[in-house]
Chain A
């Protein structure tokens, strides 16, 4: 995929921290939540970043590709339009569903890892791909539950998804850590099973432990354990890009810069 190599280290662009993102040193690329952008009226900050040559990648949260209902093509079209507006080489969403039977979950719900669910997902992904102007990458989610009667591990599920749709993977190492804590999955096995050559980029985020549950809040500092998962991933493959996601309770510019530096240090360690 042309233009996706060597994205570097980036951060999720959010309007609350737009000036911070603009002036932070070492922001090689940004990701925008596609649903928050309006075609024809891009935020001034995003335009400025584009003028500086900073790649802007649209990230969607509402396609609900794992839903038994057919994909809402209006949402796909909007995602594609955002991609064209910002000249993005790719777009992304999640391996999840967010609505069913007319109800909206308000959360990225994990897909049952069954062959039937995979068939539904593959059909939806293919439909989305046909209506998108650029390649689609799909992200593993943080799950607080596992549906019963799963037939595949998460890694196997994603590997088959890639094989059948030729999609790219957006690996969220914070979600891998969260799943390891909450439902006992093994990040190393996940990394063993997915086709790392189809890795588009990586997400890193912070979270917080509440009782027995680790919450992938995107509103707390990145834990060293999450960076360890990133380290494990980087020991296997040089990720084209790694992006810090922060969605709330924004820390100081200095703290954000130091989190980006920590991420870069892990990446650079393996690039020798």
Chain B
């Protein structure tokens, strides 16, 4: 695969696509991929990332600049991704995506959502006999809807991702992460990275069936690491350390 640097034929830059697909960790991976693609950083076999030139020239985004500035001293591959995912620059990116209504605050689905729904339906039926119970039915249905949860990706966000393919290696990372597979090789291998380096990143988390509302499984991306986003509840609560504040829940379009 060639090494173009921009997402051809897409409206969003790869970093934003990465964020929408899997949250701040994936966006951080994408930023690092873009820097690698541009030859602005290099990675050694022992997983140390270093800046090729000790300047910020050539960066395209604030997150890329954050990474490059912090690479005046070589850092571990996974730490680079993790720190970028937690950076203020990443929070700003999240805010920008929210301001453009591509993402929203995710709500976790509560296990008892169906109880509220069932009571709502029951009260709704009862309202045929006792009309005053209609108020209760509406209230329970509302709570049921709320506890059903919400994906972090808005309809506009999903539309922005529609048709995006791994047409270059940076987009491949945005869509699948360095550990994700493109054909018979990992996206990291498209950059000549050894498996030992790629595997420094946490394994891609499988999307949990029956937990659609929780953004944690898909929302963190691989870069957040298991420590800060190890459970869906910590991510989807919007208060985890991953991405800072609510940004962890910002991603999670279901890419994982």
Contacts and interface: CB of A to CB of B under 8 A. Distances in A.
Interface of A: 15-20, 23, 43-45, 249-254
A17 B53 contact: no
Contacts of B193: 19
B48 interface: yes
Given A17-B44, A19-B44, 17 more contacts: A15-B44, A15-B45, A15-B46, A16-B44, A16-B48, A17-B42, A18-B45, A19-B192, A20-B42, A23-B192, A249-B54, A250-B50, A251-B53, A252-B39, A253-B39, A253-B42, A254-B39
A254 B42 CA distance: 12
8 contacts: A15-B44, A15-B45, A18-B45, A19-B44, A249-B54, A251-B52, A251-B53, A252-B52
B43 interface: yes
Nearest to A23: B192
Q: Sorted from nearest, which 8 A-B pairs have the closest CB atoms?
A: A252-B39, A18-B45, A252-B52, A45-B45, A18-B44, A16-B44, A44-B45, A15-B44
How many of chain B's residues touch chain A, expressed as a range?
A: 10 to 19
Q: Binding site of B, secondary structure by majority: helix, strand, loop or mixed?
A: loop
B12 interface: no
A72 to B, nearest CB: 29
Contacts of A249: 54
Contacts of A250: 42, 50, 52
Interface of B: 39, 42-46, 48, 50, 52-54, 74, 192-194
Nearest to B52: A252
A251 B54 CA distance: 10
A252 B74 CA distance: 15
Nearest to A254: B39
A16 B53 contact: no
A145 B169 CA distance: 52
> By CB atoms of chain B within 10 A, which of A18, A43, A44, A251 has the most?
A18
A239 to B, nearest CB: 29
A251 B194 CA distance: 21
B229 to A, nearest CB: 30
Contacts of B74: 16
Contact of B45 (A19, A251, A253): A19
> By CB atoms of chain A within 10 A, which of B39, B45, B74 has the most?
B45
Contacts of A45: 45
A252 B54 CA distance: 11
A16 B50 contact: yes
A164 B45 CA distance: 43
A250 B49 CA distance: 12
A35 B235 CA distance: 47
A17 B192 CA distance: 13
